[in-house]
A and B are shown apart, each in its own frame.
Chain A
């Protein structure tokens, strides 16, 4: 037999630490642990709770899909789904329309431009709870300033019951949400508008475009990437809104303004049914995923954005 010279094998750990991937993994570890603890754990716990009959003060048992089957037959749950979709769609459309309109105005040359831009941000800067309280007072069934003004003008005889009547209440909370959400949309779209070179509008004007055509054929198409981002965020914020509703109506009257988020909280904490509350919250996930998916396609670089500069 011949002697085969053996190269001594180095310890596994040393080789692992020196390889590129091994080292990379090592550096990623802290971040991964952090993500796991603070993101995945609560989410996972929530999802798990949805499959149990946990109540406050009592650990629950795994009951499979029972919570979901129960919810499926619960008209209040379906009402909250309907409310959430209505709330999100109407509020988002209004925020988009009004926000874009405001952004277009603020993009023009007007006196005190910076002053107005600062003012616009106010609703966003005020803490939600504070603005919700203000709206609560504005919508008060007896002392509402809106009712008072309308009565002074002789348009109505008795105060409007803003939060006491289902459709009034829905409209009222949507109005409050729109008021609060407009600054974000308007300021973001304004930033987008400012990236569009003035000369494009001038070229279009010389090419014979009316101001409406300049808007639809030049400004709007160039703004779509930013609109996609802004509206994705806006929809997500609106869909998961909780504070405004909870302060203004607590879901009332007769659940007419319950959103999925408020219903989930209502069932879980004051109601004590943690499992059921979690199940409602989990039921929001498919909607949110759909919104994210939609924006993913909306956000893809368009063909005209590709290629080198």
Chain B
């Protein structure tokens, strides 16, 4: 186990810079998820940590050691690739023991290390098969087994679940999480699925266009997004956003472009007159009150009801615990939970409210 530190790391492919100074601290034993939209540089960052990609500028540390120029094999890192990268010409057991064999560990010892790992992953009956003869989920587990057997300082996962079907993805998610709780190895996990990020991470790093948008615990990101990007990226259904500004006389009232007046408990230092964005999550609406919505679609899921509606001219989504019988075109009176409202600068995207 070791900590991992990125210090102002940059990466350029030719003249194109794709990472613009990334700094992240990962503590020993933490499970950190890098999340962000496609092309934001998650894989590149992970591959730089693994030593598969040259570091253009900045420093990467594993433990106290700067590893910038260390070749991959000396970094003591195991990686699970998106396509699993199992060696097709050797069996599952040989795949899992490959690194040990390279180190010159005796056959018997390799077996004594491989079989408990195989046991843990439910692969014991597949040890003599070749990768071609396995299902996607089994291959995924072999790839993890290959990583576990090595007992590395750090585990890296690059979208390991994206080739699996939805159901298997959910169960593998739990399995990986359980594995981490058992082994306590520092883990960096890349995904573009924010549900995966929220459910698995001790700490989430949201990336956007080659920079870190925000770092924090899953619920911190959810409750207090630092900027518009994180606010829109984390949470499903996404946060509702309405453009407008604060009322000049009452800073606890937000006036939308359409003249709607919405409550806000803690506007912070936001000054009236500036164009701002008022963000409110779908579940922070309550039935009854003096804000009027025009219902467009009602989607009952059983446990809750999703309502797509217009607030003035802006389309928003609300989630209620109650069942609602309104139809399209009906008016719905709601209250916004003023304490759970977020305020962002419309231009810069920075958070303004407390």
Most buried by A among B71, B88, B131: B88
Q: Are B72 and A200 in contact (CB under 8 A)?
A: no
Task: Give the 8 A-B residue pairs with the shortest CB-CB distance, closest first.
Answer: A207-B99, A199-B85, A307-B133, A203-B85, A307-B132, A208-B73, A205-B72, A304-B130
The answer on a CB contact under 8 Å between B98 and A205 is no
Interchain CA distance A199-B85 in the complex, whole Å:
6
**Docked complex Cα distance between A68 and B315 (Å):** 95
Report the separation of the CA atoms of residues A213 and B81 in the bound assembly, to the nearest whole angstrom.
Answer: 20
Contact B99 A208 (CB under 8 A): yes
Q: How far, in whole Å, are A232 and B71 apart by their CA atoms in the complex?
A: 38
Interface set of B (CB-CB < 8 Å, partner A): 50-52, 71-73, 75, 77-79, 81, 83, 85, 87-90, 98-99, 102-103, 130-133, 146, 150
Distance between Cα atoms of A223 and B51 in the complex (Å):
26
How many whole Å from B325's CB to the nearest CB in chain A? 51
Are the CB atoms of B85 and A207 closer together than 8 Å? no
- Contact digits for A273-309, partner B, Cβ 8 Å, 1 yes 0 no: 0000000000000000000000000000011111111
Q: How far is the CA of A205 from the CA of B102 in the complex (A)?
A: 11
Are A205's CB and B73's CB within 8 A? yes
Q: A207 touching B132 by the CB < 8 A rule? A: no
A67-105 interface bits toward B, Cβ cutoff 8 Å, 1 = contact, 0 = none: 000000000000000000000000000000000000000
What are 19 A-B residue pairs whose CB atoms fall within 8 Å in the complex?
Answer: A197-B83, A199-B83, A203-B85, A203-B146, A204-B98, A205-B51, A205-B52, A205-B72, A205-B73, A206-B51, A206-B72, A206-B75, A207-B98, A209-B73, A222-B88, A304-B130, A305-B132, A306-B130, A307-B133
Residues of the A chain whose Cβ atoms lie less than 8 Å from the Cβ of B85: 197, 199-200, 202-203
Tell me, yes or no, whether A221 is within 8 Å of chain B by CB.
yes
Contact with B along A147-163 (1 / 0, CB 8 A): 00000000000000000
Q: A residues 141-189 with Cβ under 8 Å of B?
A: none
Among the listed A207, A213, A304, A309, which residue makes an inter-chain contact with B150, where contact means beta carbons less than 8 Å apart?
A207
Contact indicator B77/A206 (Cβ below 8 Å): yes
Chain A residue with Cβ nearest B72: A205
A203 to B156 CA separation, bound complex (whole angstroms): 12
A residues less than 8 Å from B75 (CB atoms) = 206
Contacting pair B79 A210 (CB below 8 A):
no
Q: How far is the CA of A213 from the CA of B132 in the complex (A)?
A: 23
Q: How far is the CA of A197 from the CA of B102 in the complex (A)?
A: 21
Residues of chain B lying within 8 A (CB to CB) of residue A209 = 73, 102
